[in-house]
Structure 1
């Protein structure tokens, strides 16, 4: 049975009939991977004819891909020039400029048939972002996790929040992005020890044990801070925008929240989400970096947003508040006692029901130039 590339060889193609369309980094990588595997299976005597058909298909996808080849990298993983944007699938724009300001690492560790290579890393002064490639001798599923028994320790930090995103590129090849936000770090240098002791197949629950260790340091990229200390209050909740940090690729909003005793007696949680736009009409996409506080009502947070428009003169911050009641479907758990036994954590009774949402007044920040 002929595959699609053989069928293309039998078609008379007029390249003027193709409609140009934009494709994402993810789609480009998938096409390159499929083409590479198909080309490698064919007899060399037919190679010229096959390459012509392959080129025609790439042109049909996007003129941006013309001239791309299939060099090897980190064990024949198809070239992905910008893993930040690849994993974002070029949807949010948050990672559009991360590659430009990152440090190329190319650190590799091999364990139990799985090779992990740290490609790039960047420290924006708040969060460390690490991209990496995985080459495996077995299928790890569509979205394996490195967080199951992995940890990134940053010297001088009192704690950390983090996230991980791994996706499959082709058979046995994956790329990932891990973000770590250290709490209490006062240095402008992040000294990182990243240890992965297991990779989890999230589809089957299988754990592949190994020993992947990395140690490296990252200086914080240049940033400028603007203190704001502007607050808004509504329905017993106060939100204060403490400061904003501006980097060449993003801006980071530091804010805190507190709630009255009346709110605490009625609800288990008061959650704040920020919507941010500027005076030019741009609406900014962001990702939370986690937070710390004494309870679910008094917390300091930070959130990273995409690169600021240089012509903007104001930021308009709109806090969205959600009150929640916890039950067995969204909360609860166990704690380990001193003697090693599990103790169920009870959910205190509150008078609220379900959830309640409202929008607070805008906080307008005049940008210093």
Structure 2
């Protein structure tokens, strides 16, 4: 049987079948970059599968994004490679995750709804997990999960959540998170307690108990430590480590800004453009980071499988500077009476955003 990704790839789509949804300015820019990176040709060799890989997810604050396929989704079986299926931009980011993941297939049922954790993979720092939600009754276009998975012992994590409606009774999703306060661990313990599923379109909440707990091991990995830096226009990015697994590689880096940048701009975001000496471009995703403010942060980004023939990576940091406006930022406080009061945004003068492209840094790769 073909999996859902293969079935979708072979279908002839009508643009009217898709239902549009609003996305933020930041997400719009990420999609544009991913599209540019996906227009490429690659010749890749395969790793041999080593030790069994596994994963868990813990996310304290994550955005929920999704899309629906109303015209043809009812014919799609909820089986196969959900990592590939949920890579809607076909960037190649998750092409090898299924191959090196652990098939968990853990199911909990409550209130007529089944939640199944399907596959998981853990690279020693970042964890990813696919899941399926199946309901006896028709739900809604949008679905929110009440309860975030947690890595036991972790005090902070950063991550993302993605959910897609397959048909009126099925949803599939992906959780991804990075543990921010621990050194790389060979094993992680997970708990995911779901107490409700919310349908925001109808202001309905379905209460229930879907509880999961298990331990998972890290994938095979090798690491190299570096001290590379690039600086321009008052901002600096330093690469400190690269970690490779059979399905991906991650780059750890630190961002800094001088006082002039801090005074002029409200926040700063770094995206890494990564190529190798063979001409391959690599799609990636940020894992979040931690630091004392928006300008001094230690972060990491994970990229698709590394070409084993590559001997160098060429990393070009793109620094996005932004000012807060009523359209891209909001704050609120809860008064003593329990009322929510929005705080007006004080916009700084001048242009709202700017990009600074730093000089490329070359990372030599160990055999």
Q: Please tell me the TM-score bracket, short chain as reference.
A: 0.7 to 0.9
Question: 1:247-326 counterparts in 2 under 5 A?
Answer: 247-326=245-324
Question: 1:1-369 counterparts in 2 under 5 A?
Answer: 24-25=5-6, 27=8, 78-89=77-88, 91-146=90-145, 149-186=146-183, 187-336=185-334, 342=340, 344-345=342-343, 347=345, 350-369=348-367
Distance in structure 2 (CA, Å) of the matches to 1:312 and 1:120 = 29
Change (3 A) 1:25 1:337: farther
- 2:109 is paired with a residue whose SS is strand
Distance in structure 2 (CA, Å) of the matches to 1:278 and 1:239 = 19
| Partner deviation per Cα, 1:279-323 (whole Å, 9 max, x = no partner) | 111110001111111111111111110000011111111111121
Unaligned ranges ≥5, structure 1: 1-22, 32-75
TM-score norm. by structure 1 comes to 0.75
- 2:224 is paired with a residue whose SS is strand
- 1:185 is paired with a residue whose SS is coil
Could you tell me how far 1:212 is from its partner in structure 2?
1.1
Residues 101 and 122, structure 1, Cα contact 8 Å, conserved in 2? yes
Residues 7 and 76, structure 2, Cα contact 8 Å, conserved in 1? no
Distance in structure 1 (CA, Å) of the matches to 2:88 and 2:344 = 41
Residues 152 and 180, structure 1, Cα contact 8 Å, conserved in 2? no
- 1:157 is paired with a residue whose SS is coil
Distance in structure 2 (CA, Å) of the matches to 1:256 and 1:202 = 38
Question: For this pair of structures, how many residues does the alignment match?
Answer: 301
Residues 223 and 244, structure 2, Cα contact 8 Å, conserved in 1? yes
Distance in structure 2 (CA, Å) of the matches to 1:189 and 1:161 = 18
Distance in structure 1 (CA, Å) of the matches to 2:126 and 2:325 = 32
- 2:98 is paired with a residue whose SS is helix
The structure with higher relative contact order (CA 8 Å, sep 6+) is 2
Distance in structure 2 (CA, Å) of the matches to 1:336 and 1:79 = 42
RMSD of aligned residue pairs (Cα, Å): 2.5
Distance in structure 2 (CA, Å) of the matches to 1:305 and 1:205 = 38
Which structure: greater helix fraction?
A: 1
TM-score norm. by structure 2 comes to 0.76
Residues 5 and 81, structure 2, Cα contact 8 Å, conserved in 1? no
Unaligned ranges ≥5, structure 2: 13-74
Distance in structure 2 (CA, Å) of the matches to 1:88 and 1:320 = 23
- 1:214 is paired with a residue whose SS is strand
Give the aligned partner of residue 13 of structure 1: none
- 1:92 is paired with a residue whose SS is coil
Residues 286 and 303, structure 1, Cα contact 8 Å, conserved in 2? yes
Distance in structure 2 (CA, Å) of the matches to 1:174 and 1:301 = 31
Residues 325 and 352, structure 1, Cα contact 8 Å, conserved in 2? no
Could you tell me how far 1:202 is from its partner in structure 2?
4.9
- 1:191 is paired with a residue whose SS is strand
Change (3 A) 1:90 1:294: closer
| Partner deviation per Cα, 1:11-52 (whole Å, 9 max, x = no partner) | xxxxxxxxxxxx943527999xxxxxxxxxxxxxxxxxxxxx
